[in-house]
Copies of this chain bind each other. A is one copy, B any other.
Amino acid sequence: MSNDLINRRDLDFQLFEVLDTLALTAQPRFAEHSRETFTAVLDTAQAIATDKFAPHNRSADENEPHLEDGRVRMVPEIGQAIDAFVQAGFLSASYDFLEGGMQLPAILSQSAMAIFASANMATTVYSLLSMGNASVIHRYGSEAQKKLYFEPLMAGRFFGTMALTEPQAGSSLADLKTSATPNADGSYAIRGNKIFISGGDHELSENIVHLVLARIDGAPPGVKGISLFIVPKFRVQPDGSLGPRNDVALTGLIHKMGCRGATSTLLAFGEKGECRGDLVGEPHKGLSYMFHMMNQIRIGAGLGAVMLGYRGYQASLAYAKERLQGRAPTSKNPAEPPLPIIEHGDVRRMLMAQKAYVEGGLALCLFCAHLIDTQTVSADETERREAAMLLDLLTPVTKSWPSQWCLEGNSLAIQIHGGYGYTRDYPVEQFYRDNRLNAIHEGTHGIQALDLLGRKAFMQGGAASQLLARKIGKTLEQADEVAELQEFTTALNKALMDMVSTLQTLGAAMLKEPNRALANASVFLEAFGHTVIAWMWLRQAVAACRALALDATVLDATEQAFYQGKLSACRWFYRWELPKTRAWHELLRSLDDTVLTMPCEGF
């Protein structure tokens, strides 16, 4: 298969050599699965992504959804692609056989989603939101709600959204104003405005299920007074048939820099006073329910960022092998034929950086999926608890690190294409535009930084951070046995010590001067992220060395080069990227307050 969307050799390496995904088939839940069924799932995803998702990636960008007579029109290929996706069972892939699912491990369904995201991020968004929405109803909804909403969502007849953000509140969910007034029949009258609602209106499905955060009249202020409601576009009758339009009005489409195929909307709930919502779970607990979905979607955003980077890497790699231009710096003879640009040092640097970013980022996303599976099926309670804790700690990093560095990768992919890369005749400029979204939605970079430093790093007395250090320590032990990896173990050990020392300083500062300790949270997120990715690279290097050592006699040249490539990329990350953490840690430990003490008028 073509490597356009993902290097399947790399994906197999990550799934079956770095992670022991096959071990999952020993668990009762996954006993029906095997390497063959896993491969078949990925093959199907790749075939649909190639045939149905990739071809309209550019045309949906050029012809973004628009209004015609109050309806949202979009290129028809979006609907056709999602149909194929649903038909093949990807929407419900991780649910039980009994619920019509494939009972697939999260790591496999994430791998499949990675392939779709690579092919067409914008079209994939519709499915991602439906899946996230359905999972909330599945988990917190009543039996009636599951029947009325979850089942049609899984069948692809209804699509879902997540309606959190309000124009005045932005990231500050405490300031949400949308109200919910109890009706006599047990439903609620919803009233308020939401913004940036992806998939908020379209003609792709019979109905759209909005999950809306709102305040029940008299609820406490702040985040403790937020409840969650199901608000369908068309009311659903008790027998499941569609009733009249609910009072949800599309008040505008948002025109974005990228990810244009995914319609983003402004919605007005209850302008006529007739918007009916159905409470999910208990009152005032809406935010915690939504965060179940939010955490999934955050990892999904990170994976999307990785895959946009991955696609750009593959595109620029192919270009660099084909494009003939220039000669070695030492060549003074213009009669010599030009070289493929992959021979130039600076082009190689840009390819290597992309490889290190995207394959490192993919490793992290798959590791998180692996933690989800451990949490779901492990027989060991401690293992389950630890997996949940580690996942919690790593979520902000998995969301933000790829959003930053795989975007940088997209920039390098443009650069390798030179002037051509800046034109819309080549795909790389779109990847760059599309990917810029990922540092913003589902909690900005700054929000992730506060989540990591202000909440996760010190939660339960720093238990999660300590757990992470132990896990990294285990990889260091494995690597210690391989002479070739000495350079990396030394460096990662140092970075880890640096992290521990920073955590001590910041932990103390948090008690005395929390505003100051948190002011540089973004730098902490960067340092933390680079250390985690270095760990991900060491894990890959260990697996590569294992393969090179065991199979030296049977590995063909292609396989040798593959593993050598992994070791080189690891080396590159350790020599070019990891050393940056030193300066970041010094800055963090100095509790620098330059930005806080700046007079406003000094800007």
CB-CB contacts below 8 Å: A193-227 with B: 195-196, 221-223
A530 → chain B closest CB, angstroms: 12
Copies in the complex: 2
Closest residue of chain B to A411 (Cβ to Cβ) is B436
Asked if A602 meets B521 with Cβ closer than 8 Å, knowing A171-B325, A595-B345, the reply is no
A449 to chain B: closest CB distance in Å? 7
Does A461 touch B at the CB level, under 8 Å? no
Question: CB-CB < 8 A to A568: which residues of B?
Answer: 594, 597-599, 602
Write the A255-278 contact mask toward B (1 if CB under 8 angstroms, else 0): 111100000000000000000000
A423 and B254 contacting across the interface, CB-CB below 8 Å: yes
Contact in complex: A174, B221 (CB < 8 Å): no
Of B257, B321, B346, B515, which is within 8 A of A422 by CB? B257
Assess whether A504 is interfacial by the CB under 8 Å rule. no
A324 partner residues in chain B, CB cutoff 8 A: 168
B196 touches A255 (CB 8 A): no
Indicate if the CB atoms of A349 and B520 lie closer than 8 Å.
Answer: yes
Hey, which chain B residues are within 8 Å of A255, CB to CB? Answer: 423-425
Task: Give the A interface residue count (CB, 8 A).
Answer: 105
Q: Is the CB of A346 within 8 A of B519?
A: yes
Q: With A and B bound together, what is the CA distance between A57 and B52 in angstroms?
A: 37
Interface bits A165-198 vs B (CB < 8 Å: 1, else 0)? 1001111101100000000000000000001100
List residues of chain B with CB within 8 A of the CB of A338.
Answer: 172, 175
Q: Within the complex, what minimum Cβ distance (angstroms) separates A412 from chain B?
A: 10
Q: Which residues does chain B contribute within 8 Å of A600, judged by CB atoms?
A: 321, 342, 561
Bound: A348/B519 CA distance, A: 9
Is A572 engaged at the interface, CB distance under 8 Å to the other chain?
Answer: yes
B424 & A454 in contact (Cβ 8 Å cutoff): no
Asked whether any CB of chain B lies closer than 8 Å to the CB of A37, the reply is no
Is A522 among interface residues, defined by CB-CB distance under 8 A?
A: yes
Contact status of A418 and B170, CB under 8 A, knowing A329-B514, A561-B601, A603-B317: yes
Minimum Cβ distance to chain B for residue A77 (Å): 21
Residues in B neighbouring A580, C-beta threshold 8 A? 580, 583
Partner of A590, one of B168, B575, B598: B575
Chain B nearest CB from A548 CB (Å) reads 12
Q: Are B598 and A348 in contact (CB under 8 A)?
A: yes
- Taking a contact as CB atoms closer than 8 A, the residue among B333, B423, B583, B595 that contacts A257 in the complex is B423
Docked Cα-Cα span, A325 to B167, in Å, equals 10
* Cα of A317 to Cα of B603 in the assembled complex, Å: 8
- Asked if residues B515 and A345 are in contact (CB atoms below 8 Å), the reply is yes
A287, CB-defined interface residue at 8 Å: no
From A257, A439, A518, A599, name the one whose CB has the most chain B CB atoms within 10 angstroms: A257
Binary B-proximity of A572-593 (CB < 8 A = 1, otherwise 0): 1001100110110011001010
Q: How far is the CA of A346 from the CA of B452 in the complex (A)?
A: 14
- Report yes or no: A440 in contact with B419, Cβ–Cβ below 8 A: yes
Asked whether A351 is an interface residue with its Cβ less than 8 Å from the other chain, the reply is: yes
Task: State A116–B30 Cα separation when bound (angstroms).
Answer: 64
Interface of A is mostly: helix
A31 within 8 A of B: no
Shortest beta-carbon distance, A503 to chain B, in Å? 18
In the docked arrangement, what's the CA distance between A74 and B323, Å? 33
Q: Contacts A561-B602, A562-B601; is A522 near B349 (CB within 8 Å)? A: yes
Closest CB in chain B relative to A302 CB, distance in Å:
17
Quick check: B565 and A602 within 8 Å, CB to CB?
Answer: yes
Is A415 touching B444 in the complex (CB atoms < 8 A)? yes
- Give the CA-CA distance A113 to B322 in the complex, in Å: 40
Interface presence of A441 (CB below 8 A): yes
A557: chain B residues within 8 A (beta carbon): 601
Tell me whether B445 and A415 are in contact (CB under 8 A). Answer: yes
Which one of B169, B565, B596, B603 lies within 8 Å of A351 (CB-CB)? B603
Residue of B with least CB distance to A583? B579
- Those of A347-363 within 8 Å (CB) of chain B: 347-349, 351-352, 355
Q: Is A571 an interface residue (CB 8 A)?
A: yes
Are A326 and B433 within 8 A (Cβ)?
A: no
Q: Please report which residues of chain A, range 273-324, place their CB below 8 angstroms from some CB of chain B when the two chains form the complex.
A: 317, 321, 323-324
User: Closest residue to A417 on the B side, CB-wise?
Assistant: B440
Does A460 sit at the interface, judged by CB under 8 A? no
Q: In the bound complex, do residue B454 and residue A329 qualify as a contact, i.e. CB atoms below 8 Å apart?
A: yes
Question: Whole-angstrom distance between the alpha carbons of A257 and B419 in the complex?
Answer: 11
Instruction: Verify B334–A565 contact, CB threshold 8 A.
Output: no
| CB of A549 within 8 Å of the partner chain | no
Query: What residues of chain B lie closer than 8 Å to A221, measured between beta carbons?
Result: 334-335
Pairs A–B under 8 Å by Cβ, sample size 15: A222-B334, A255-B423, A255-B425, A256-B423, A317-B603, A348-B595, A348-B598, A411-B436, A418-B440, A561-B599, A568-B594, A568-B602, A572-B595, A576-B594, A580-B583
19 more A-B residue pairs beyond the given contacts A174-B327, A351-B595, A422-B440, with a C-beta to C-beta distance below 8 A: A165-B419, A171-B418, A196-B419, A221-B334, A255-B424, A258-B422, A345-B515, A346-B522, A349-B595, A352-B603, A415-B444, A557-B601, A565-B599, A565-B602, A565-B603, A568-B599, A571-B594, A579-B586, A580-B583
- List chain A positions with a Cβ less than 8 A from chain B: 165, 168-172, 174-175, 195-196, 221-223, 254-258, 317, 321, 323-330, 333-335, 338, 342, 344-349, 351-352, 355, 411, 414-415, 418-419, 421-425, 429, 432-433, 436-437, 439-441, 444-446, 449-450, 454, 514-515, 518-523, 557-558, 561-562, 564-566, 568-569, 571-572, 575-576, 579-580, 582-583, 586-587, 590, 592, 594-603
